Amino acid sequence: MTEEQAREDICQAGKLLWQRNLVASNDGNISVRLQDGTILCTPTGVSKGFMKPEDLCRLEPDGTLLSGPEPSIETPMHLWVYGARANAGAVVHAHPPAATAYASSGRTIPADILTEMALGLGEIPLIEHGTPGSMDVPEHLAPVIDTHDVFLIANHGALTVGQDVFKAYFLMESVELCAYTTFLAEQVGPRRIPPDKLETLFRMRQERLQGR
């Protein structure tokens, strides 16, 4: 992928996040790792729904700014993910309401209510809250960064990692739909997936991941 295409894709993903109410105002941040190892990321203080390709920042993996405006305060979290995951091509951080409600209640989203949740997302780790811009969240991510692509951050939001920006975006979209549907099911009393069938779904998910 060219840098020009990556810039366009980030802006498109940002618009989708904003249109689907997964972020508001200037919330959230998106990044992509380019073929040369440098990172494109969203700037601080700009709505994800109204970004232009030239608004984006380009950085060295160590955070040195190569071009563009001031990057998002959450950029260190993104850079840490790229350092920890060789197969990470993009990172999306947003504040999807239902998923964030679970995270703000000290809970992850139960995986035993929706087949799509168990098979598509699996068990989502709940990461301890950290001060934005600090290394608090990466420290808590470290034990699970290699085994998961979706993370809830307590009292904050969600983080997704993908091979490209749209894979990361679609994970964010999926986690919010699963969270909202699960919340509704819990209000009326869900019929939970039996443990043996849940284990089968987890095994199927693992086989799909290994086959990529």
- The per-residue pLDDT for range 174-198, each reduced to its tens digit, is 999 999 999 999 999 999 999 999 9
Whole-prediction pTM value? Answer: 0.95
User: At 98, which helix (H) or strand (E)?
Assistant: helix 97-104
- What's the chain's average pLDDT? 95
Let me know: does 42 contact 56? Beta carbons within 8 Å.
yes
Kindly report the number of other CB atoms within 10 A of residue 125's CB atom. 17
Kindly report the number of other CB atoms within 10 A of residue 122's CB atom. 18
Q: What angle do CA 32, 38, 41 make, to 5 degrees?
A: 40
The reported pLDDT for the residue numbered 181 is: 98
Residue type, 25: S
Interval 95-99 mean pLDDT: 98
Structure tokens at 86: 């060789």
Is the confidence at residue 133, as pLDDT, over 80?
Answer: no
φ/ψ region of 70 (left if φ > 0, alpha if ψ in -120 to 50, else beta) reads beta
**Cα(23)–Cα(118) distance, integer angstroms:** 25
**Cα(89)–Cα(163) distance, integer angstroms:** 4
Domain annotation for the chain: domains and CATH numbers: 3-210 (3.40.225.10)
Return the closest-CA partner of residue 170 out of 157, 161, 181: 161
Let me know: does 59 contact 71? Beta carbons within 8 Å.
yes
Return the closest-CA partner of residue 83 out of 126, 33, 124: 33
- Give every CB contact of residue 7 below 8 A, 6+ residues apart in sequence: 40, 53, 54, 56
Q: What burial class does residue 71 get, using C-beta atoms within 10 Å of its C-beta: 0-12 exposed, 13-18 middle, 19+ buried?
A: buried
Q: Which residue has the higher pLDDT, 111 or 210?
A: 111
- The per-residue pLDDT for range 137-188, each reduced to its tens digit, is 889 999 999 999 999 999 999 999 999 999 999 999 999 999 999 999 999 9
